[in-house]
Amino acid sequence: DIQMTQSPSSLSASVGDRVTITCRASQGINNYLNWYQHKPGKAPKLLIYDASNLETGVPSRFSGSGSGTDFTFTISSLQPEDIATYYCQQYDNLPPTFGQGTRLEIK
């Protein structure tokens, strides 16, 4: 199975800050890498697909980049409603695997 290593596991930032989360795959995944936002009691929400494509309706402050094994997720200006846990997910190989999550808090 492909292992997805996400860092940091938690992050505290202020409103307006630029926030960056990284995800490393244990082998190349051909950019088949998605980012999800998950709030307690809610369904996960797709934000970025195929490493860098912004899902329809998602604010442009969210972005993704990277290729091969190393990927980055960025919130350009943190908003209070962005408080959530963020997950990367690869689907290059079955089983699809998620990173362990990054819990984002407001400082």
Partner 1 sequence: EVQLVESGGGLVQPGGSLRLSCAASGFTFSSYAMSWVRQAPGKGLEWVSAIGGSGDSTYYADSVKGRFTISRGNSKNTLYLQMNSLRAADTAVYYCAKSYTIIRNWGQGTLVTVSS
- Applying CB under 8 A, the residues found at the interface with partner 1 are 1, 32, 34, 36, 38, 42-46, 49-50, 55, 85, 87, 89, 91, 94-101
Q: How far is the CB of 11 from partner 1 (least distance, A)?
A: 15
In whole angstroms, give the CA distance from residue 49 to residue 53: 5
Q: How far is the CB of 21 from partner 1 (least distance, A)?
A: 13
Choose between 19 and 90: whose C-beta lies nearer to partner 1: 90
Q: How far is the CB of 98 from partner 1 (least distance, A)?
A: 5
Hey, what are 59's tokens?
């604010």
The Cα-based distances of 15 to 10, 76, 102 in angstroms read 16, 10, 17
Choose between 14 and 56: whose C-beta lies nearer to partner 1: 56
